[in-house]
Amino acid sequence: MQTTQHPRQWFKLGTTLFSFTNEYLNLEHSFEDLIAQVAVRGLGPGLEIIGFSHVRGFPQVTDRFAERFRELMAQYRLTPTCLSVNADVAIRRGTSMSDEQAAAYFEPQIRAAAKLGFPVVRTQLAAGPGALERLLPLAEKLQVKMGPELHAPWTLEAPAIVAYRELYERVKSPFLGFIPDFGASAKALPPSYLDYLREAGMPEDLLALAVGLWTGPGETQWKRDEFARRASALRAEPSVVSALSVMFSILSPQNARVWLEIMPQIIHVHCKFYDFDAAGNEPCIPYEELLPVFVEGGYRGYMSSEWEGHMYSQGSGLEAVERHHALCKRILIPYQ
């Protein structure tokens, strides 16, 4: 395959406002401020937002808000790329939504995406492929693509993912797809997260046990269960076991090239990241492998930089995304 074209002819970079959770929750920047920061710092041209986090009254969207949002996109020359929506299938305690109920819950969120000018909505696996199939006529009418985020610990062979792949093969609609999360193709755990746990008093033997299992062979669910079993035998506190078990859910070691299997069905990408080493590389996500795979596969959508360090840090998401864009652009130089 020829890869001599400029990388932006293959896919474009952008960011999700989820990366700036610290700035948003600490009231350092408003919603409009963050959009301005994305433009001023050159973190576009793509912009992703989260419905229930960034739109007051969501999934209802007022005409005034929609008009103002479109004005901001034009003013800052940004492109709406993806609206992240929620499934919330267990919102009522003790029961779970049927496919029909989940579809009804999604419907106003998809309409909101269309009203705001988003061509893609990120759904959640919990709703199931049956809900998306029911919504397909609406999505096609509104010209909005739908797809679940393929997040760790899921693999492409997991039954929940296979069910979606079978649906897509059967209906063959360009309005159904997937949104890979690069945390599902990690090569290590974030050094900053491990340091955070140590500073919080995490016993070194339990930390070593969790890291050893994560890096070793075996299916993710087995690793998590095996860690809980061994930690229990060591009489570890349940809260400690829970804190370490998160490792097996936020990141998993799936080969970067697996994404080629579903490349034609990828409608957006979440570029998850956490840390940078002294050379400006991400030590736990192999971007030097992942980005060339998407060039090779001919992906032509957008990629959102998604910093998740705010899960355990009060660091600056804006500065983190700046460094992430610099890393991505450096990796893509050979493909220009």
Distance of CA 249 to CAs 84, 150, 177, 246, Å? Answer: 19, 12, 22, 5
* DSSP letter assigned to residue 58: T
Dihedral of the CA atoms 249, 253, 254, 257 (nearest 10)? 140
Whether the CB-CB separation of 51 and 79 falls below 8 Å is answered with: no
CA separation for the pair 34, 25 (Å, rounded): 12
Active-site annotation holds for 324:
no
118: left (phi over 0), alpha (psi -120 to 50) or beta: beta
Q: Are strands 120-123 and 46-50 parallel, antiparallel or unpaired?
A: unpaired
Which residue among 54, 151, 324, 325 is the active-site one?
A: 151
- Give the CB-side neighbour count of residue 154, counting CA atoms within 13 A: 21
> Which residues are annotated as catalytic?
151
